[in-house]
Structure 1
């Protein structure tokens, strides 16, 4: 890959995740403090991400992969997204806000696959080249959070009270226009040409990957993936609102520690994975969810603020040790024919079904423990901590990893077998 192409792809990744990080992290606080949404309404708004994840494979599989260049679809979707961001910026209440955020998520979630397609199309050795491109997405998310807290101070107590968080949608919209226009300058990524044997609808939509569920261990992992996303939804929906509510300074900026830890623990993952195997790696990830929420339950903005920072920093363990190791395990089980479909199935299970259930439950719990005196954050965090602990115990008892290693044929020393995505 030449230097100019690498720069373009890096800028694309930076803007892709800058856009998401620019408004999604503070969404819970905005819904609570500005639009005065209750827990159920916030859960419905956050669940639009899940609906987007469920619909995305159909858009990619039935449209992008078959008819149009990926970079052109990427450009069009982000320009439409900019318009919807402006509508979110001007929405006066949740009832007006909801249909626009649903529309936005339906068109944004497919772009996550499109930027990968554009990148992979330019790479000779994606396993070695992709991480250096994808890391700019994480940097983009971090920069967005730092800008909100330390440059614009929109999430400060005064900023929240004055409704400045609405500017996050304007910032995301401007970045979306820029990426939309920039996308038309990206290297051409034409649709795949299907020749030879006919492809059935079930193959096109990836349904054949569900045959993997015949393997008892994989079925246990699949169900655990759905269940562990219930506590994950609590973090996305409540973390920023929680930190803001208990008067933590620059909460959005501090939450970027979580993204930085993703990069750090990703480097540790192959070593841990190889030494202890899939089962114990994923169990550590589950344990981290229970521990981080316990830290949130007992931490405060005063003398126990270090517990909050530790809880945020555990995001790397929570995400990498469960989700990335899960992607590796899925890849090893799928075989060449079902690799892409199997990854899509796990994405559907986690960001689709799992988090859809999770956002619903998080909304109910938030309403249950919200009184005139405010939220009972201790209980709101102890409940997902308990859920994560129960899932961990069930996985420990039901998943059989006889050799305490990865599946046959998966060699973590061979970079061609595994793709770790930051």
Structure 2
């Protein structure tokens, strides 16, 4: 089997694991285990905590001491054990600690899988710019297929989703043992602790424009966590309404939510055009408006024919909301930051979005959901309207505070670099 196909399998399994539980675990904890919204938010906050601590630390270990492919194997074996144990847990405190162990092991594998792919492609004299995207797309396919699998097998409210994720983690850990060995660095460079920990990019906070950009990136990172945590429980709750009990939305909510990931593929392809035409400020504003639409459409959507159209529109605008903020932000940094701290800046961006932002979003969104829950019944319309108002207000503040003059010539080679 060619190296590209082997990497595609790795990418597929990597994201199949995440898709098996990330969107549906909240429904399982609320509907089956009886956790509160705040408790669910705390469990989901483990992703944010791990994203702050682990990627840089594991990156240093992979660079200096343990080969990246072996470290990748170890991480997935830990994930397999943690997820297997989590399937038997019914206490929110224990669930937090077990899922924290899982997150600490899983989050670094996202970067390690990229490292392995880049090394293998370069070793085989393949252009990473053109060869890697088709490989990474299989990760999105894996995520979507996992959501469909869990939904069609009726495991959304079952611990089986965690057993499946554990099994695939074990398979990927074993499979990764067959991947080419990646050497550690033999260079003994004198570096201070700031450089070793990848914190060089914090100098960017001295520039008001970049400081604002990172701050808004963190605040938008909180929005993403809201939809991951409570999108599925929201759709499941329509099952309490007799006329909707047998609707496809209630039976297969993950399949409906997977349309969001499908929309991502379309909007990824549109990013080069929009960034070149409008610049990062307008593209970020489009993202914030799309997040408002995402939640606003949730507020008025339901399984009825008209309501289903609104839900479907919410899934489609997610592609714009996520990609125009997450991927465009990464490209903006690539173009604006000095090459000597570019890697650190990208790491800082991901820490702000998937670390600090995700943690804050998990905790606060859980408290909001509990506040508008009376006798176990959630006022989803009010909850979603509050969530919709947040990116709208954020967008207004961003419009007036983020000063940026678009220079199309800086984006001329964007399509090639992307």
TM range (shorter): over 0.9
Q: Are 2:319 and 1:327 equivalent residues in the alignment?
A: no
Q: Are 2:185 and 1:187 equivalent residues in the alignment?
A: no
CA separation in 2, counterparts of 1:354 and 1:13? 25
Q: Are 2:200 and 1:199 equivalent residues in the alignment?
A: no
Structure 2 residue corresponding to 1:169, chosen from 162, 175, 194: 162
* Mean Cα deviation higher: 28-37 or 240-249: 240-249
SS in 1 for 2:73: helix
Q: What TM-score comes out, normalization by structure 2 length?
A: 0.93
Deviation at 1:96, TM superposition (A): 2.6
In structure 2, the CA distance between the partners of 1:311 and 1:83, relative to structure 1 (3 Å rule), is same
Which residue of structure 2 lines up, in the alignment, with residue 258 of structure 1? 260
Residue segments in structure 1 that go unaligned for 5+ positions in a row: none
Structure 1 residue corresponding to 2:151, chosen from 149, 152, 162: 149
Which residue of structure 1 lines up, in the alignment, with residue 65 of structure 2? 67
Q: Deviations over 1:172-208 (max 9, x none)?
A: 111011000000101222223334x411110111211
Which residue of structure 2 lines up, in the alignment, with residue 348 of structure 1? 351
Q: Deviations over 1:260-315 (max 9, x none)?
A: 11111101111111111111111101110011100001111113111111112222
CA separation in 2, counterparts of 1:92 and 1:214? 46
Deviation at 1:63, TM superposition (A): 1.2
Which residue of structure 2 lines up, in the alignment, with residue 389 of structure 1? 392
CA contact (8 A) 1:276 1:405 kept: no
SS in 2 for 1:233: helix
Deviation at 1:57, TM superposition (A): 2.7
SS in 2 for 1:103: helix
* Mean Cα deviation higher: 120-129 or 275-284: 120-129
Deviation at 1:373, TM superposition (A): 5.7
Q: What TM-score comes out, normalization by structure 1 length?
A: 0.92
Q: Deviations over 1:114-162 (max 9, x none)?
A: 0000001122421111101100000000110111122x1223xxxx3xx
Q: Are 2:377 and 1:374 equivalent residues in the alignment?
A: yes
CA separation in 1, counterparts of 2:415 and 2:46? 38
CA separation in 2, counterparts of 1:325 and 1:110? 22
In structure 2, the CA distance between the partners of 1:365 and 1:266, relative to structure 1 (3 Å rule), is same
Deviation at 1:410, TM superposition (A): 4.2
Aligned length: 403
* Mean Cα deviation higher: 393-402 or 41-50: 393-402
CA contact (8 A) 1:278 1:405 kept: no
Residue segments in structure 2 that go unaligned for 5+ positions in a row: 240-248
Q: Are 2:221 and 1:229 equivalent residues in the alignment?
A: yes
Which residue of structure 1 lines up, in the alignment, with residue 313 of structure 2? 310
Deviation at 1:414, TM superposition (A): 5.8
SS in 2 for 1:246: helix
CA contact (8 A) 1:274 1:412 kept: no
